[in-house]
């Protein structure tokens, strides 16, 4: 591909042919403001914030979609550019609900930041003050139409997920984003993945917070409160406290939660290990006894809901294992309560998760209310700040026993391919006692779809890993038309897995568009795995104790009663 030479604000730049002005500007370390653009998600030039002057163009052009040309001279900061951007912002503000002091995105809002930088008058254009009801129908996402700026990032994120629960409605001044026929979000085909939330530049979409209920439980002397944290939270929580992306803050996270009140803090990696034992043995049983194959993982509730809604014919392919969140809830309300003489009604279980779909999962009747509350990484960060805890100055502390020690296999659950790798470690060792390999690099990385075949004890195990529901759909279509043949498939609804979940910290465009968040966050988990002296879930002393004292063996009758579940068709499309 030929190179193109141009100047941006008199700075010479050489870029490949086909590069946009916005991409070229970044190479020249020139920032052009954007609202609708989001790398790998949305690039439609609709917000008009990135307008620049360029030779050879008539008037201002949208830098995010306009390609460079040989000899082009670009000006990004002329008076004409600044006036245009300021007017665009003031027009957006005329329809925007300006309740910044009470908004969860206050201080972390792209519209707020740009309005301050450009010195906007929020009342410059008269507003009709029309207000619309906030959609509280879903237990995981709240949608506030009056904060929406019609940037369409959420629509692009939803379509990229192959869900299409929201889209543009109406034309001109009446245009807005909503679900088909103006239905509530819960009545739509939304799967709760939350990718729309992390894509939204303002506060139009947010998780449905349940933090007040957690505070009430902590204050209730009749309740014993226990927290447990998902594997990926340690790799992302630090971002809410201005630490570099990919910083592992496990020790500080535990210390912070402990300072919220009289609570115990457990490690969800324990039930990630437990999931692996149950899932690996379920897979082996299906292979040896002719069960339904390929077997799909079931630890992602967004993916499970997608299957129930769009592919109910594939429900039998799902593993019957609960997610690690729900396994921990079941474990705590049975084994832990029995061992410690606690009435399960007096135990308040709080899960800290990277995922909004986990909030929905807690409400499923199949889960028996075993997890009382699921809060996102963002909600935990807000609780820590509300409590006045200086997070970055905290000491490193360890999880509470008896649920503290996990394997590296449990830790990598948070990255795409991690479930598969952890399961392969156990399944291969179970089939062939001499099999000592613990690293399966073929299923690592953030490629949309990964495939591999392993020969273990005379069995050829064909596996695939996909993250992002559009890629899951490609896998399903291949399985159904006979072009893809697998024994075991891992699916995560969010691109990159839980490290990129819909409940993770919302970061500004300047970071999201310039860094590979998925790789940096996942690297923290793989580093933790490599440092762990226990790499295989089946070799965790905690897991050995749990089976010895309570379940007996993986896939036993007791294990099925507490750790497994069932799913059902929910045909909405």
Q: What is the 3-state secondary structure (H, E, C) of 45-96?
A: CCCCCCEEEECCCCCCEECCCCECCCCCEEECCCHHHHHHHHHHHHHHHHHC
- For 261, residues 6+ apart whose C-beta sits below 8 A from its C-beta are 218, 219, 225
Angle between helices 301-310 and 469-481 (to 10 degrees): 50
Report, as residue numbers or ranges, the catalytic residues: 279, 282, 299, 319, 358, 361, 366, 498
How far is the C-alpha of 3 from the C-alpha of 292, rounded, in Å?
Answer: 53
How far is the C-alpha of 534 from the C-alpha of 86, rounded, in Å?
Answer: 57
Q: Helix H segments across 432-547? A: 469-481, 509-512, 517-531, 541-546
Name the DSSP letter for residue 371: S
How far is the C-alpha of 486 from the C-alpha of 240, rounded, in Å?
Answer: 40
Give the chain's end-to-end CA distance (angstroms, integer). 43
**Residues of 318-357 as b/e, b for ≥16 C-beta within 10 angstroms?**
bbbbbbbbbbbbbbbbbbbbeeeeeeeeebbbbbbbbbbb
What are 61's strand-pairing partners? 52
- For 419, residues 6+ apart whose C-beta sits below 8 A from its C-beta are 275, 276, 279, 297, 299, 413, 490, 492
389-396 long-range Cβ contacts below 8 angstroms, 24+ apart: 389/256, 389/259, 389/260, 391/238, 391/241, 391/249, 391/252, 391/256, 392/241, 392/242, 392/243, 392/252, 394/251, 394/252, 394/255, 394/256, 394/259, 395/251, 395/252, 395/255, 396/250, 396/251, 396/252, 396/255
Q: Could you tell me how many residues make up the chain? A: 573
How far is the C-alpha of 466 from the C-alpha of 311, rounded, in Å?
Answer: 16
How far is the C-alpha of 500 from the C-alpha of 518, rounded, in Å?
Answer: 6
Angle CA(506)–CA(508)–CA(511) in degrees, nearest 5?
105
How far is the C-alpha of 118 from the C-alpha of 90, rounded, in Å?
Answer: 10
What are 349's strand-pairing partners? 226
Angle CA(421)–CA(533)–CA(246) in degrees, nearest 5?
65
Is 399 in a helix, a strand, or coil?
coil
How far is the C-alpha of 321 from the C-alpha of 306, rounded, in Å?
Answer: 17
State the residue for tokens 């990129």: 500
């Amino acid at each position: 591909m030929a190179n193109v030479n141009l100047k941006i604000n008199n700075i010479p730049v050489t870029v490949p042919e086909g590069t946009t002005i916005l991409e070229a500007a970044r190479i020249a370390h020139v920032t052009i403001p954007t609202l609708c653009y989001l790398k790998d998600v949305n690039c439609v030039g609709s917000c008009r914030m990135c307008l620049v002057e360029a030779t050879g163009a008539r008037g201002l052009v949208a830098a995010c979609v306009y390609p460079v040309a040989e000899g082009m001279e670009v000006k990004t900061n002329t008076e004409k550019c600044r006036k245009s951007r300021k007017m665009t912002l003031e027009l957006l503000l005329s329809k925007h609900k300006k309740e910044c002091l009470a908004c969860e995105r206050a201080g972390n809002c792209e519209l707020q930041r740009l309005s301050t930088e450009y010195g906007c008058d929020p009342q410059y254009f008269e507003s009709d003050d029309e207000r619309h009801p906030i959609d509280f129908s879903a237990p995981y996402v709240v949608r506030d139409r009056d904060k929406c700026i019609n940037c369409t990032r959420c629509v692009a994120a939803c379509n990229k997920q192959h869900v299409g629960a929201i889209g543009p409605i109406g034309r001109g001044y009446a245009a807005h984003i909503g679900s088909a026929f103006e239905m509530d979000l819960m009545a739509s085909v939304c799967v709760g993945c939350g990718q729309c939330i992390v894509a939204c530049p303002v506060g139009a979409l947010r998780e449905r917070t349940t933090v007040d209920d957690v505070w009430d439980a902590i204050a209730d002397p009749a309740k014993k409160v226990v927290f447990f944290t998902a594997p990926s939270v340690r790799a992302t929580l630090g971002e809410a406290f201005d630490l570099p992306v990919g910083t592992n803050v496990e020790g500080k996270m535990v210390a912070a939660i402990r300072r919220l009140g009289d609570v115990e803090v457990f490690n969800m990696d324990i039930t990630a290990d437990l999931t692996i034992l149950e899932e690996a043995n379920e897979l082996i049983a299906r292979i040896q006894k002719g069960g339904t194959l390929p077997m799909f993982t079931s630890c992602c509730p967004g993916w499970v809901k997608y299957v129930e809604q769009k592919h109910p014919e594939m429900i039998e392919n799902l593993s019957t294992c609960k997610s690690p969140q729900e396994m921990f809830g079941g474990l705590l309300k049975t084994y832990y309560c029995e061992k410690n003489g606690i009435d399960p009604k007096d135990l308040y279980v709080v899960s800290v998760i990277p995922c909004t779909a986990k909030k929905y999962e807690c409400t499923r009747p199949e889960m028996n209310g075993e997890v009382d509350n699921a809060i996102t990484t963002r909600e935990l960060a807000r609780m820590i700040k509300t409590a006045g805890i200086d997070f970055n100055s905290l000491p490193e502390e360890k999880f509470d026993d008896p649920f503290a020690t996990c394997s590296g296999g449990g830790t990598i659950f948070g990255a795409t391919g991690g479930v598969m790798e952890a399961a392969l470690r156990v399944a291969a060792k179970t089939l062939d006692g001499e099999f000592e390999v613990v690293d399966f690099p073929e299923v690592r990385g953030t490629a949309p779809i990964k495939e591999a075949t392993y020969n273990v004890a005379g069995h050829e195990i064909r596996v695939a890993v996909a993250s992002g529901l559009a890629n899951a759909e490609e896998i399903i279509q291949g399985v159904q038309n006979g072009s893809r043949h697998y024994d075991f498939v891992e699916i995560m609804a969010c691109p990159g897995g839980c490290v990129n979940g819909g409940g993770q910290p919302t970061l500004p465009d300047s970071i999201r568009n310039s860094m590979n968040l998925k790789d940096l966050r996942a690297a923290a988990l793989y580093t933790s795995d490599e440092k762990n002296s226990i790499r295989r879930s089946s070799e965790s002393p905690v897991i050995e104790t749990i089976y010895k004292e309570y379940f007996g063996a993986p896939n036993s009758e007791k294990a099925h009663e507490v750790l497994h579940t069932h799913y059902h068709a929910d045909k909405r499309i």
